[in-house]
Amino acid sequence: MTDAVAHAHGAAGGDGPAYTGWYAAGRMARGVAWAAVGFALGVALLAVVRNITGHDGWSKEASICAGYLLALPGWLFGMGMWDGWGREWFGHKVKHAPSDWGRYFSFCHDHKVIGIQYLATFVFLFLFAGLFAMVIRWQLLSPNGAILTNAQYNSVMSMHGTVMIAVAVAGVAGSFGNYILPLQLGADDMAFPRLNAMSFWLIPPVAVLLLAALPMGGWDTGWTAYPPLSTTNGTGQLMFNLAIITFGLSSILSGLNFICTFIFMRAEGMTWSRIPVFSWSLFAMAWIALLFTQLFAVSLIMVTLDRVAGTSWFNATHGGQPLLYQHVFWFYSHPAVYIFVLPAFGIILEILSHLSRKPLFAYKWVVGAFFGILGLSGIVWAHHMFTSTMDARLLKPFLITTELISIPTGLIFLAALGTIWQGKLWLRVPMLFALGEVFNFLIGGVTGIFLADLPTDIHLQDTYFVVAHFHYTIVGGEIFALFAGIYFWYPKITGRMYNERLGQWHFWLMFLGFNFTFIPMFWPGIQGMNRRIAEYTPDLQNINIVVSVMAFILGASFLPFVWNMLASLFRGERAQANPWRARTLEWQTTSPPPVENFPVPPLVTGGPYDYGVPGAAVHAAPAYSAAAGD
């Protein structure tokens, strides 16, 4: 990053004053202070209203909600939204964020800075939630629970699940979506740079709320927050609700931004059929984030209202319907898996094509498959509810729509195979991760069939079979792509090469650790070992010990990764502008790119993947001078 800073420092536009990191620290302190003021104001306002209507002024959960409602804008505006945006609403001139390293900690509008902010945040959160997974596996070494009380186990399991879901939602899309999408399209930024900064700075309150939930007793509903448990448990649950609603807002705004960027910010000559597949995958993903996320917010708003306002959405004793929650929740949360996995497919196909020096197989079919997935994603949600006592007439239709999803995903899988078929594979670390992902996703997809089919699902519902399956799709299918992307774009983002040998260690430890953890895990699932439970029957101890030991190896695989990333930042070999000799636009500018991305607005003249195609026009000419890069 030192490089990125030095580079952009010289190129940053003239109107930002020369700030230091103190500016950033000061703005953050101002954000916290205004959040505190907002919180106090919200609590006070509610107290006034409650007094007028004849209640006690302070009611724990309602007061927290009211305070948070004003604390959130307080944080955002104090943090920099007021300087760079809000001033305009009142007819004042805006002020700019710092242009030195302090911008990584500021309300900076540059999509590359925001991409790095997302990447650093979510890699950290991934490792953090990974530690919780290690604790879970330690606990399960013994059938009676090795270290935690049952209540602690519930909190640890919930924290692991919730944070990992957040990583899955924003880890790939937030980081590479923001950093790479405008570069691949030949744009100088996202369509709404300020909205983009706002999307990112909504994330710290999410993390603070989730952490604040722990001393309040945590929450024991996992990430799914099913009532009636979630409407009757401790205040930690409320923190979870507020955190996830905030996170949803961030997702929705990002989705909006991606769509507008994709449609309107393309360079001259970037016709629909010349857009790289990763950008297409983000476009399809963004519609899910934009539309379906609202339903997650609705479901949690209903839970929150039941808790603080006495409504009875889910309170069966007053005529509520707990099943309604599952419908609303899964209406978002099934499509959410495509928020995870669509950009992951995009990265994988991108890398497979560039590093096997072959055209992307069936490019147009792949894009069609993305939209097939998008279309089907909204009509499959009840496959999570086969054992929930919902109307039996719904079972078969949802079985069929769920099975249909294997058509577009199968197409993508075949496109991956077709791309590497007879290619000259360049087995560098990103390629290894990409191939690993294809393998993992095959297992994830095949085991999914047993959960989509009613007869087997009724037996496997809520067991470790489900846990192993969704780890194959989310970790195997997305997190492997996240790491593929990190290694692939590391030279572009930092201007340095990562260490190949350490990267290979990371891949093999992670790939073997992952598969040897989760393949054995299907077995206790088939035997009926319940997920989310702190204890299990003693006859399953041996297999659980195997799973735990393998999980520790998986955990250890991130040590070489962290060392590699940090050490290479300072000591890595200087990266060329285009170390992979790839055709797409992000490689046709310097590493890292200047603030305006391309010194010359790019002109696109051909397809992105025409490797070895005789007579194919170039995608775009390099936009850097010989002195600046290669």
Partner 1 sequence: MVTTGNEAALRTAPPRQAPAYGEAVHAGHQMPKSKRAHINRVALWMFFFSESFMFGGLLAGKFYLAGAGHDAHLDQFLGLLITSILLLSSVTAYQAETAIKHGKTGQCVAWLFLTIVFGAIFAVGVGFEWATAHFSVHEPFGTAFFAMTGIHAAHVISGVFMLVLIYRLVRRGRFGPDHYWPVEATVKYWHFVDVVWVFFYPALYLTTW
Q: Which of 142, 152, 311, 461 binds partner 1 (CB under 8 A)?
A: 311
The piece of 71-79, 362-370, 528-536, 587-595 that touches partner 1 (CB under 8 A) is 587-595
Instruction: Tell me whether residue 109 or residue 469 sits nearer to Cu ion (CB atom).
Output: 469
Q: Which pair of structure tokens corresponds to residue 172?
A: 């790939």
Name which of Cu ion, partner 1, none residue 334 binds, using a CB cut-off of 5 to 8 Å depending on partner kind.
Answer: Cu ion
Report residue 74 as tokens: 């307080």
Yes or no: say if 569 and 2 are a contact pair by the CB < 8 Å rule. Answer: yes
Q: Which uninterrupted H or E stretch holds 263? A: helix 236-264
> Is 594 among the residues that bind partner 1 (CB under 8 A)?
yes
Contact 542, 483 (CB under 8 A): no
CB of 245 to partner 1, least distance (A): 11
Please pick, from the candidates 137, 307, 334, 619, the single residue that binds Cu ion as defined by CB under 5 A.
334
x/- track of binding to partner 1 for residues 490-529 (CB under 8 A): ----------------------------------------
Burial label, 276 (beta-carbon count in 10 A; 0-12, 13-18, 19+) = buried
Beta strands, E only, 237-325: none
Between 330 and 522, whose beta carbon lies closer to partner 1? 330
Hey, what are 385's tokens? Answer: 């509810």
The answer to whether the CB of 197 falls within 8 A of the CB of 130 is no
Residue 400 CB coordination number (10 Å): 12
Spell out the residues 6+ positions from residue 479 whose beta carbon is closer than 8 angstroms to its own. Answer: 126, 167, 168, 171
Nearer to Cu ion, 44 or 379 (CB): 379
DSSP 530: B
Site for partner 1 in 327-346 (CB under 8 A): 327-328, 331
> Which of partner 1, Cu ion, none binds 267 (CB below 5-8 Å, type-dependent)?
none
Task: Give the per-residue contact string, 530-569, with partner 1 (x = CB under 8 A; - = no).
Answer: ----------------------------------------
578 lies in the site for partner 1, by CB under 8 A: yes
Q: In b/e form, how buried is each residue of 188-219, taking b as 16+ CB within 10 angstroms?
A: bbbbbbbbbbbbbbbbbbbbebbebbeeebbb
Residue (7 or 334) nearer to Cu ion, CB? 334
Asked if 380 interacts with partner 1 (CB under 8 A), we say no
Give the one residue of 189, 437, 457, 478 binding partner 1; rule: CB under 8 A: 189
Instruction: Return the axis-axis angle of helices 293-308 and 277-291, rounded to nearest 10°.
Output: 30
Q: Which stretch binds partner 1 (CB under 8 A): 18-26, 428-436, 508-516, 599-607?
A: 599-607
Q: For residues 334 and 354, which CB has a smaller minimum distance to Cu ion in the complex?
A: 334
Peptide bond into 204 cis (omega under 30): no
- In the complex, the smallest distance separating the C-beta of residue 625 from partner 1, rounded to whole angstroms, is 9
Cβ contacts of 156 within 8 Å, gap of 6 or more: 132, 135, 136, 139, 148
Task: Tell me which of partner 1, Cu ion, none is bound by residue 397, counting a contact when its beta carbon lies within the kind-specific cut-off of 5 to 8 angstroms.
Answer: none
CB atoms within 10 A of CB 7: 18
Binding site partner of 479, from partner 1, Cu ion, none, Cβ cut-off 5-8 A by kind: none
Q: Which amino acid is at 70?
A: L
69-128: contacts with partner 1 (CB under 8 A): 89-91, 109
Angstrom distance (rounded) from CA 189 to CA 603: 16
Question: What are 196's two structure tokens?
Answer: 């983009």
Tokens standing for 528? Answer: 């009926």
Interacting span for Cu ion (CB under 5 A) from 93-101, 244-252, 330-338, 494-502: 330-338
Closest distance of CB 355 from partner 1, Å: 10
Q: Which string of DSSP letters, residue by residue, matches 410-470?
A: HHHHHHHHHHHTT------HHHHHHHHHHHHHHHHHHHHHHHHSHHHHHHHTTBHHHHHHH
Does 455 bind partner 1 (CB under 8 A)? Our answer is no
327 near Cu ion, rule: CB under 5 A: no
Nearer to partner 1, 85 or 518 (CB): 85
For partner 1, the closer of residues 403 and 596 by Cβ is 596
Decide if 525 contacts 463 (C-beta within 8 A). yes
With CB under 8 A as the contact rule, which of the stretches 166-174, 257-265, 411-419, 559-567 interacts with partner 1? 257-265
Position among 133, 191, 349, 479 found at the interface with partner 1 (CB under 8 A): 191
| Closer of 530 and 576 to partner 1 (Cβ) | 576
Shortest Å distance, C-beta 107 to partner 1:
15
Q: Which spans of this chain sit near Cu ion (rule: CB under 5 A)?
A: 334
